[in-house]
Amino acid sequence: MISFSSLNVMLKSENSIKYVRNDNFHIPRISGSFPTIGNMMLDILFSGKLMDPDGNSLLCSNKDSLNLSHTCKNFRHMMIQKRVLKFSLSKSFSLRFYRNPEFSSYVSSLGQVYSLNLSNCDEIVNLSCVGNIYELNLSSCEGIIDVSFVSQVHTLNLKSCLALRDVSPLSQVHDLCLSHCYGVTDVSSLGRVHCLNLSACRGVTDVQFLGNIHTLNLSTCRGLTDVSSLGSVHNLDLCECIGVTDVSCLGGIHTLNLSYCRGVTDVSFLGDVHILNLSYCRGVTDVSVLGRVHSLKLNFCRGVTDISDLGNIHTLSLSNCRGVTNVSALANVHTLNLSNCVRVTDVSALGNVHTLDLSFCRGVKNVSALQNVHTLNLRFCRGVIDVSSLGNVYDLNLSSCKGVTDVSSLGNVNILQLNDCTGLKTNFLASFWSRITQKHRNRVLIMLSNDSEQCSVQ
């Protein structure tokens, strides 16, 4: 087995290894085929001297990737007397060069590498030698202008390539990231890309040709107003697209993120969306048509008051919906977040919810009906005093519930958080532990201190 923890290579096979001793480092002279590191076939021929002022080694590996970034803090000062470094790699191998412009000049010999990370290599301009790479990361390579040579790359990351203007050659790329490419304005040629990330592309305003893309990220494209052509997109992210107001054409989308779209008020056409995020859409008030949505986020939608039609949703988040008072219709919700819903007082209907977050619900006092909840968060519910009925809850968070003084009935709880529960008696742990069966002691975890130190006995 080969370990690249340093320039020393440890090998258990018939291949021979010779080490040449130097005052500051070891140089392995290795030849042969080593079929380890996952399903990779690695042939190495190395001859030369490499060191940096701190004595850090160049080669390191973790399973199936070779990282030449943080191990080379002072790469500009590294000494290479005989520059012979050859890799013959299978398709499961990846290389990473981060802020190593000198080394990136040798990438012409890496045409068979599966995954190549050249992020932040500012001096890279010519991409003609990396066009056959399957997965290529060129993020923050600010010198890149011409991308015609990488048109056949499968997965291409050009995030923050600020000099980039023309992306028309990239129509055949499968997975393309152009996030924060401020100079890009025309994306009409990218309609055949499978997964396209245009987040924070401030110059993009026309997306009429992107309707057949599977996964499209347009978050923070604030100049965008018309999304009528995107009704066939499978996953669509329009987070913080503040110019978007009409979403009536998006009802057939599987996963839709409209968070922070403050201009959106009418969501009556979105009832068939599978996963819908409307957080911070403060103009939204009527959510009665969203009862068929599988997963719905309405966090900070303070105009929402009536949630009586949302009882069949699987995962529902109403965090900081301070207009919500009556949650009796939500008894069949699987995962329910009501954190900081300060006007909620009666939770007696929620006993069959699987995962329930009531943190910061200062109006909640009676939790006796919640004994069948699997995961229950009552953090900062300072009105809660009696928790004697919660002994069958699997994961219970009572942190900062200062009114709780007796937890002797919670011996069957598997994960119990009691951080900052200052009302507990100083000797409660000994009494509590004595009530737990020996079998259960092997599983129970208690957290007591403010910094969540695990204080239980295992």
d(CA 433, CA 435): 5
Strands (E), 63-167: 65-67, 84-88, 94-96, 115-117, 135-137, 155-157
SS3 96: strand
- pLDDT, tens only, 318-333: 999 999 999 999 999 9
Length of the chain: 458
DSSP state letter for 446: E
The angle subtended at Cα 30 by Cα 27 and Cα 36, nearest 5°, is 115
d(CA 25, CA 16): 20
d(CA 331, CA 376): 14
The two structure tokens encoding residue 290: 């969203």
At 32 the pLDDT is 33
b/e per residue 118-133 (b: at least 16 CB within 10 A)? bbbbeebeebeebeeb
**Sign of CA pseudo-dihedral 442, 445, 446, 449:** positive
Question: What tens-digit pLDDT sequence spans the chain (458 residues)?
Answer: 222 222 223 222 333 333 333 333 333 333 333 333 222 222 232 333 333 334 444 343 333 444 444 333 333 222 222 222 333 233 334 545 545 545 445 555 555 577 888 888 777 777 887 888 889 999 998 889 999 999 999 999 999 999 999 999 999 999 999 999 999 999 999 999 999 999 999 999 999 999 999 999 999 999 999 999 999 999 999 999 999 999 999 999 999 999 999 999 999 999 999 999 999 999 999 999 999 999 999 999 999 999 999 999 999 999 999 999 999 999 999 999 999 999 999 999 999 999 999 999 999 999 999 999 999 999 999 999 999 999 999 999 999 999 999 998 998 999 999 999 988 876 666 666 666 655 565 556 667 654 434 444 33
Delimit the domains of the chain by residue range: 1-91, 343-430+440-458
Is domain 343-430+440-458 given the CATH code 3.80.10.10 in the classification?
yes
Q: Label the pairing between strands 42-47 and 84-88.
A: antiparallel
The two structure tokens encoding residue 449: 């201190």
At 71 the pLDDT is 36
At 436 the pLDDT is 65
The two structure tokens encoding residue 40: 């990779």
Distance in angstroms between the alpha carbons of the first and the last residue of the chain = 35
At 120 the pLDDT is 85
d(CA 380, CA 137): 44
SS3 415: strand
At 434 the pLDDT is 65
- pLDDT, tens only, 379-404: 999 999 999 999 999 999 999 999 99
The two structure tokens encoding residue 117: 């990370």
At 63 the pLDDT is 34
At 244 the pLDDT is 97
User: If you write DSSP's letter for every residue of 273-317 in order, what string do you get?
Assistant: -SEEE-TT-TT----GGGTT-SEEE-TT-TT----TT-TT-SEEE
